[in-house]
Amino acid sequence: MAVGVGIVSKIMEVFDYQAFKSAPLVREPYEHVILPGFVRPEALAKINADYPRIDHAGSYPLASLEFGPNFQAMVDALESDEFRKAFEEKFQIDLSGRPTTITVRGRSDTRDGNIHCDSESKIITILLYMNPGWDDSGGRLRLLRSRDDINSVAAEVPPSGGTLVAFLRSDHSWHGHLQFIGERRVIQFNWVTGEGSQRFNLFRHRVSASVKQLLSFGKSKDSSPAAPERM
C-alpha cells in the first residue's frame, strides 16, 4: 500500500448510494444503470493504491490476487446487504440467497472487446471502472442494440472515474468495446443463479486468464487469433 494513503473505514464511504438511488433505470435496449462517480473520489484513489498488480489481460478471481486493505474494504462493500438491497430495489428483483462472483481486470489486449452477451447463469452484471481518467477512443464499453454491429450504440461509457455500469442479463444484453491495448482497470461483480454457476464462472475466468498469459508469452511465435473472452 502506498505510504500516506488512509484506509476506507466505512462501507458508506466507498459507494455513493444517494446518487445511485436517484439514477434512472433505463429500459432500452435492456435494463441498465450508468452512474459516473459511484465509487466516491476519495475512495477511488485509496482503492487504486491497493489495486492488485495485474500484468496480463484476462479476468482474475480474487483468490488468485494479492491486494491491500482499501481494496478489501471495497470487496466487503460489494458483498454487503446494503449493496444487495440497493440493487434489489433498483431492478425490482429478489437477490437474497443468490451466490456472487467477483473478478478483476487490469489490462486489455487485442482479444478483448468482442460483442457478447453474458452467460445465462448471471442475473445482474455490475462493472466498476477504476482508471482515474480515460482519453482513448478504444476501451469504452458500448451497450448495443445489435449482436453484430459494434456501432449500433445505445450508450458508451469510458472505463474511468469510479463509473458504475449495471445491467440485467438477458438474451439481448449485447455489449463490447473498440480495441484497446494497455491498462484498463475493471471490477466485475455478478449475482448468479446458484453455487454450481458460481464455481463454474470462477473456474472459467481462472482458466481464461491463464490461457491469455500463455498466449501473451508466445505471441511472437504464433500470430493466429485467439477466441475472445466472455465477460
Question: What secondary structure does DSSP assign to 133-169, as a single string?
Answer: ----SSS-EEEES-SS-TT-EEEEE-SBTTEEEEEE-
Tell me the three state secondary structure of residue 68: coil
Domain that holds residue 199: 11-217
Secondary element (H or E) of residue 105: strand 100-108
Look at residue 3 and tell me if it is in a domain. no
Look at residue 6 and tell me if it is in a domain. no
465477460: which residue's cell?
Answer: 231
The pLDDT of residue 228 is above 50:
no
**Cβ neighbours of 224 (radius 10 Å):** 5
3/43 Cα distance (integer angstroms): 16
Look at residue 115 and tell me if it is in a domain. yes
Is the bond preceding 29 in cis, omega lying within 30 degrees of 0?
yes
Average pLDDT over residues 80-93: 98
The pLDDT of residue 101 is above 50:
yes
- 44-69 tens-digit pLDDT: 999 999 999 999 999 999 999 999 99
Look at residue 185 and tell me if it is in a domain. yes
Look at residue 151 and tell me if it is in a domain. yes
Q: How confident is the model at residue 194 (pLDDT cuts 50, 70, 90)?
A: confident
CATH code assigned at 123: 2.60.120.620
Mean pLDDT, rounded, of the chain: 86
- 130-183 tens-digit pLDDT: 999 999 999 999 999 999 999 999 999 999 999 999 999 999 999 999 999 999
Look at residue 83 and tell me if it is in a domain. yes
**Count: domains in the chain:** 1
Q: Where are the alpha helices (DSSP H) in 37-173?
A: 41-49, 69-78, 81-91
428483483: which residue's cell?
Answer: 93
Look at residue 224 and tell me if it is in a domain. no
**Cβ neighbours of 63 (radius 10 Å):** 8
Average pLDDT over residues 15-23: 97
pTM: 0.83
Q: How confident is the model at residue 2 (pLDDT cuts 50, 70, 90)?
A: very low
Look at residue 62 and tell me if it is in a domain. yes
- pLDDT, residue 7, reads 62
23 compared with 1, residue with greater pLDDT: 23
- pLDDT, residue 53, reads 97
